[in-house]
């Protein structure tokens, strides 16, 4: 077989002299385990480990920047409101008795008022449980709150008024769970039975008439999983609309497409 020489142009292309990157880029190197396990330095080293670890390191850096940021560190600009120009206002939220939920600010006073309003309701519910043998479920508790709210701007008010059940599989999450926790120390014994709500919610799907069900899910996570599971009891929903901002690539239930939900029986 005749030996062919490698064209000089190919060699020149593949072995082109590299540009000197010294001082221009971060050097990629992993954590030196000879230093022992220093978790702070270990996490910091992810930024220079390469591939996905570098992305995780960038994410950690951004999160730390978020935690360290204070309005007081920013310059006062012309478009700042008068309130934002106040040095006291510009301190960190916690010291101001404010809580951040997403892009909302909730004053501590709101939680205090919520506790003052809801604890007497729990007291009455416990009394009815003991004296009248009432079996409370998350949906019955929510209906009771709708009744007590007495405010026509609340959807719970209208749900209660029209006998529409509101199911909440994550009832103990958030402030309502905190109030149940606090009440258990004040007057122990209030029982909220989740099993009866599972029966009721799954029953809504199983006995749906006429023969078909459709689901519209805003968001994802626990509510989406719950409603898809309920419809699986009847071999799946016939129509489905998912509206959320989640992505498919991370394998989460929130980001799963309707196509993926075929395994759940969504047709």
pTM of the predicted model over 0.85: no
* Residue 157 domain boundaries: 109-207
Out of 175, 207, 239, pick the residue that ends a domain.
Answer: 207
- Does residue 92 sit within a domain? no
HSE at residue 8, side-chain half, CA atoms within 13 A, is 0
Q: Do 244 and 219 contact (CB within 8 A), yes or no?
A: yes
- Does residue 84 sit within a domain? no
118 and 191 assigned to the same domain = yes
- Does residue 104 sit within a domain? no
End-to-end CA distance of the chain: 61
User: Residue 106 is inside which H or E element, if any?
Assistant: strand 104-107
Alpha-carbon distance 231 to 206, whole Å? 7
Helices 194-206 and 138-149 sit at what angle, rounded to 10 degrees? 90
pLDDT tens by residue, the chain, 267 residues: 455 666 676 666 666 677 777 777 777 777 888 888 887 888 778 777 766 677 777 777 888 887 777 766 677 777 777 767 676 666 676 667 777 776 677 888 888 899 999 999 999 999 999 999 999 999 999 999 999 998 889 999 999 999 999 999 888 888 899 999 999 998 999 999 999 999 999 998 888 877 788 888 888 888 888 888 888 888 888 888 888 888 777 777 777 777 776 666 665
In 35-174, alpha helices (H): 39-45, 51-68, 108-132, 138-149, 155-161
Out of 207, 224, 256, pick the residue that ends a domain.
Answer: 207
Alpha-carbon distance 107 to 62, whole Å? 26
What integer pLDDT is reported at residue 262 of this predicted model? 66
What integer pLDDT is reported at residue 163 of this predicted model? 94
Sequence-separated (6 or more) residues with CB below 8 Å from residue 136: 125, 129, 190, 191, 192, 193
What integer pLDDT is reported at residue 4 of this predicted model? 62
CA dist 101 → 90, 98, 104, 153, 165 (Å): 18, 10, 5, 21, 27
182 and 200 assigned to the same domain = yes
| Number of domains composing the chain | 3
Out of 207, 228, 247, pick the residue that ends a domain.
Answer: 207
118 and 178 assigned to the same domain = yes
191 and 116 assigned to the same domain = yes
User: How many other CB atoms sit within 10 Å of the CB of residue 42?
Assistant: 16
Alpha-carbon distance 267 to 249, whole Å? 22
Q: Which phi and psi (to 5°) does residue 175 adopt? A: -65, -35
- Does residue 233 sit within a domain? yes
Three-state SS for 159?
helix
- Does residue 20 sit within a domain? yes
Q: Do 244 and 218 contact (CB within 8 A), yes or no?
A: yes
- The conformation of residue 240, written as its DSSP 8-state character, comes to E
Alpha-carbon distance 142 to 120, whole Å? 15
147 and 203 assigned to the same domain = yes
- Does residue 101 sit within a domain? no
- Does residue 41 sit within a domain? yes
Three-state SS for 183?
helix
Query: Tokens representing 221?
Result: 């996570």
199 and 224 assigned to the same domain = no
* Of the candidates 167, 217, 173, 229, the residue with the CA atom closest to the CA atom of residue 194: 167
What integer pLDDT is reported at residue 133 of this predicted model? 95
Q: pLDDT tens digits for 45-78?
A: 877 776 667 777 777 788 888 777 776 667 777 7
- Does residue 114 sit within a domain? yes
148 and 198 assigned to the same domain = yes
What integer pLDDT is reported at residue 256 of this predicted model? 78
Q: pLDDT tens digits for 165-200?
A: 999 988 888 889 999 999 999 899 999 999 999 999
């Amino acid at each position: 077989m005749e030996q062919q020489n490698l064209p000089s142009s190919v060699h020149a292309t593949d072995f082109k002299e590299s540009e000197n990157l010294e001082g221009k880029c971060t050097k990629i190197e992993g954590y030196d385990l000879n230093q022992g396990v220093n978790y702070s330095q270990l996490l910091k080293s992810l930024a220079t480990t390469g591939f996905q670890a570098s992305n995780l390191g960038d994410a950690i850096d951004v999160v730390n920047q978020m935690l360290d940021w204070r309005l007081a560190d920013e310059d006062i600009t012309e478009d700042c409101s008068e309130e934002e120009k106040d040095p006291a206002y510009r301190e960190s939220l916690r010291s101001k008795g404010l809580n951040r939920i997403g892009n909302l600010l909730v004053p501590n006073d709101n939680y205090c008022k919520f506790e003052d309003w809801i604890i007497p309701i729990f007291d009455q519910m416990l009394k009815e449980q003991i004296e009248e043998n009432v079996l409370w479920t998350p949906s019955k508790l929510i209906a009771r709150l709708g009744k007590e709210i007495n405010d026509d701007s609340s959807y719970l008010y209208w749900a209660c008024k029209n006998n529409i059940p509101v199911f909440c599989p994550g009832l103990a999450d958030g402030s309502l769970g905190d109030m149940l926790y606090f009440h258990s120390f004040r007057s122990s014994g209030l029982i909220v039975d989740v099993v009866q709500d599972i029966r009721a919610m799954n029953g809504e799907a199983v006995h749906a008439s006429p023969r078909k069900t459709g689901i519209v899910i805003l968001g994802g996570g626990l509510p989406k999983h719950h409603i898809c599971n309920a419809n699986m009891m009847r071999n799946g929903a016939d129509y489905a609309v998912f509206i959320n901002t989640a992505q498919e690539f991370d394998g989460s239930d929130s980001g799963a497409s309707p196509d993926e939900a075929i395994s759940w029986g969504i047709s």
